[in-house]
Amino acid sequence: MTCDRLVCANCASPVSEGRCPVCRASRERLQHQEGLFAGLTPAALVALLVALVAVAVVARSFAA
């Protein structure tokens, strides 16, 4: 999850702007939780999955 669309309950501003201490703490926590696929959009994840399945199908056809 990214903090682009999150709104702070403390100051009612976007968390990505970091206007209050609560925003800054949440933004910092979210940045530390980002993993390998955290920056990808759902569409990019679906495209990656489709590409992986295509590679598996091609590999299986060559193995047979």
31 pLDDT higher than 80: no
Given a contact cutoff of 8 angstroms between Cβ atoms, the answer to whether 17 and 4 are in contact is no
Q: Which amino acid is at 14?
A: P
**Residues 28 and 1 both lie in one domain:** yes
Flag whether the pTM goes above 0.75.
no
Q: Using 50, 70 and 90 to split pLDDT, how confident is the model at 2? A: low
Tens-place pLDDT, residues 5-28: 788 889 988 888 888 999 888 888
* Domain region containing 46: 39-64
Tens-place pLDDT, residues 43-63: 988 999 999 999 999 999 988
**Residues 44 and 60 both lie in one domain:** yes
Q: Which amino acid is at 37?
A: F
> What dihedral do alpha carbons 35, 48, 7, 34 form, nearest 10°?
0
Number of domains in the chain: 2
